[in-house]
Copies of this chain bind each other. A is one copy, B any other.
Amino acid sequence: MNVSDLGEDPLIQRITAGLPQQANVIVGPGDDCAVIERNHTHDSLLKTDCIVEHVHFLPDTEAERIGWKAVARVVSDFAAMGGLPESLLVTLVIPPETETSWVESLYSGMQCCAEFYGFSIVGGETSSTTSSSPAMISIAGTGLVEKGQAILRSTAQDGDQIFVTGKLGGSIQGKHLDFHPRIEQARWLAEHFRPSAMMDLSDGVAKDLPRLAQASKLGFQLDTAKLPCSDGSTTENALSDGEDFELLFTLSAEHAEHLATIWHQHYPDIPLTCVGYMTRDESQELHGGWDHFKPA
């Protein structure tokens, strides 16, 4: 059986199920970041991500935007844990005919994102691949979060309300290259409301909400009519397009009302929408979303 028969999530479950974890590992595989003991005040967050030519960007995409995207995707995962990025390493795999100026522009875009969010690119690795093969950029990052305060996917509670920030769908029109990860909003949420569970939306609500529910051993009811759609996007786009890099989080009904009231005072330009609730019943079935090995 090949990986496209199996699909992405079952593959990941299969390869990570048996991995033993040392005592310093607080959260291992399966969340937006791993969480590792660090010192008396903070835990470390670890994340790796990658983008591949023809899959995540095209040969004629501006290199600066590719660089921004590569780094911003990882920053979004730190946001999803309620943490902050700290240091990044870049792995670059390119065919020998790659233009040097392309690599320089790529780094310029990565550095631009690093500066914007106040962290450092501290090293990396460069390898050739065979001629005409797709370029690949992998970013590994460390972040930090206040001790014991990382917000996981797996801790949603029965009855919690489900929220999404921003508007969803149609990212391919350009947002997937230029988005700003919700670091500030996630930190604000963590400090003032402490969501019961949180993740970032990378593969579409239809793929990501079931992941959060499964990790929390709960079901969900999603009111698809409430999904906040980007201009020109349909509910189907909001469910399936992916690369929204918005926050998906859950909050007790008791706090949800208070949040809805004051969010808009703090972030008047960013929609916050309650789109459903967690339940002990079986999840409704959603179709769509991005699977790396079973593209729609």
Contact = CB atoms under 8 A, between A and B. Distances in A.
A15 B107 contact: yes
Contacts of A121: 16, 19, 29
Contacts of A130: 52, 54-55, 134
A128 to B, nearest CB: 4
A38 B86 CA distance: 11
Interface stretch (A90-98, A163-171, A222-230, A248-256): A90-98
A133 B51 CA distance: 14
A4 B130 CA distance: 12
A4 B136 contact: no
Interface in A127-155: 127-130, 133-134, 136, 138, 140, 142
Q: What does DSSP make chain A's interface, helix, strand, loop or mixed?
A: mixed
Contact of A90 (B21, B28, B48): B48
B52 A140 contact: no
A3 interface: yes
A259 interface: no
A69 to B, nearest CB: 13
Contacts of A50: 91, 93, 125, 127, 138
A72 B176 CA distance: 35
A284 interface: no
B20 A122 contact: no
A104 B14 CA distance: 8
Interface stretch (A5-13, A190-198, A232-240, A268-276): A5-13
B93 A136 contact: yes
6 contacts: A3-B103, A28-B120, A38-B39, A46-B123, A48-B123, A91-B140
